[in-house]
Amino acid sequence: MDDLILARVLHVIGVVLWIGGVAMVTLVLLPGLKRMASPAEAMNFFIDFRRRFAAQARYTTLLVGLSGLYMTYVLDAWHRFMQWQYWWMHTMVLIWLLFTVMLFVFEPRSRRRKQPSQTNITAQTFTRIQRKHMILLILSLITIAGAVAGSHGWLIPGGRI
């Protein structure tokens, strides 16, 4: 029982560090960069910031994934993936997969590639980046709300087993 609680504690700490970082980038950093006088300079700053964030987000996604899998195993909750009332289990895994591919495949690949010319970077570039981050953030927040409510017993009627 104690190990389940410990897994839950680590899971939530991982989620706070990781999704909290995504919220900060989306709601504070990107709007600030959009207003900078030199978009090329802003992009250089963003690339460096993203590299540093990705380095720590790799550990937190790993922590969230391992603790999540462990809880699924201990609770023997595999059947939930067959029940739509547990939609938040599906979206947890979906978000985890999306970020894992971005952090472990795309981010290292973009670092190895030569940086493209920065002359065509404008404020609109940051608006586009912010839109993508906003979609991920909203999806993550809906998932967090569903996971907290669902794992404490608030399920869509008819879904309790």
Interface ranges with ligand HEM (CB under 6 A): 8, 11-12, 15, 19, 64-65, 68-69, 71-72, 75, 77, 92-93, 95-96, 140, 143-144, 147-148, 151
User: Residue 86, CB half-sphere, CA atoms under 13 Å: how many?
Assistant: 17
The CA-atom distances, in angstroms, between 113 and each of 14, 110, 151 are 30, 5, 42
Nearest distance from residue 138's CB to ligand HEM, in Å?
11
- Count, residues in the chain: 161
Backbone angles phi and psi of 157, in degrees to 5: -50, 140
Q: Which residue is nearest to ligand HEM (CB)?
A: 68
Nearer to ligand HEM among residue 76 and residue 120 (C-beta):
76
Nearer to ligand HEM among residue 49 and residue 73 (C-beta):
73
Nearer to ligand HEM among residue 130 and residue 140 (C-beta):
140
Nearest distance from residue 117's CB to ligand HEM, in Å?
35
**Distant-in-sequence, close-in-space partners of 112: CB < 8 Å, separation ≥ 6:** none
Nearest distance from residue 95's CB to ligand HEM, in Å?
4
Instruction: Determine the Cα angle at 19 with ends 138 and 98, to 5°.
Output: 75
Nearer to ligand HEM among residue 55 and residue 69 (C-beta):
69
